[in-house]
Amino acid sequence: MSQPDHNDLPATAPIDGLDVERLDSLRDLDPGDTTYLDRAIANFQVNSAAAVDAVREAAEAGDVATVKARSHKIAGSALNLGVPRAGEAARAVEIAADSGSVEPALPLLDEFEAAMAEGRELLLTYQATYAG
């Protein structure tokens, strides 16, 4: 991504499904340089897809510990990046696995996958608001 030519980027207009205030605060950590946020978004693109696959495989294998750990980690990433639906979907899977069984998590996996995919798209939409 190319960096903006100016230090003060304006507040981003609302984008349904994103906490743009959170994202703007991450974007503006180093005024004029979005490297940190760009790296975080790129990591989420890869890690959220990998987490969905890992959680689904672990759930199908009955591996409660992996379901809890991977869904917990990606929930934190999603919420940190201002993608609440993805974060809450991951949290729901984690909480369901707290029962000690993957069974309660299984019906939540499609929503988890859809929310993560939506989150990836929304973050790219946000990124396009400042990328030159």
Task: Specify the pLDDT at position 131.
Answer: 83
Task: Specify the pLDDT at position 8.
Answer: 74
Confidence category of residue 9, pLDDT binned at 50, 70, 90: confident
Residue 51 covered by a domain: yes
Residue 124 covered by a domain: yes
Residues 30 and 4: beta-carbon distance below 8 Å: no
Task: Specify the pLDDT at position 132.
Answer: 64
Task: Give Cα separations from 14 to 22, 63, 121 (angstroms).
Answer: 11, 39, 15
Number of domains in the chain: 1
**Is pLDDT larger for residue 132 or for residue 101?**
101
* Range list of H helices, 62-108: 64-80, 84-97
Residue 15 covered by a domain: no
Task: Specify the pLDDT at position 5.
Answer: 43
Report the share of the chain in percent with pLDDT over 70.
94
76: domain range? 34-128
CA angle 15, 20, 25 (to 5 degrees): 160
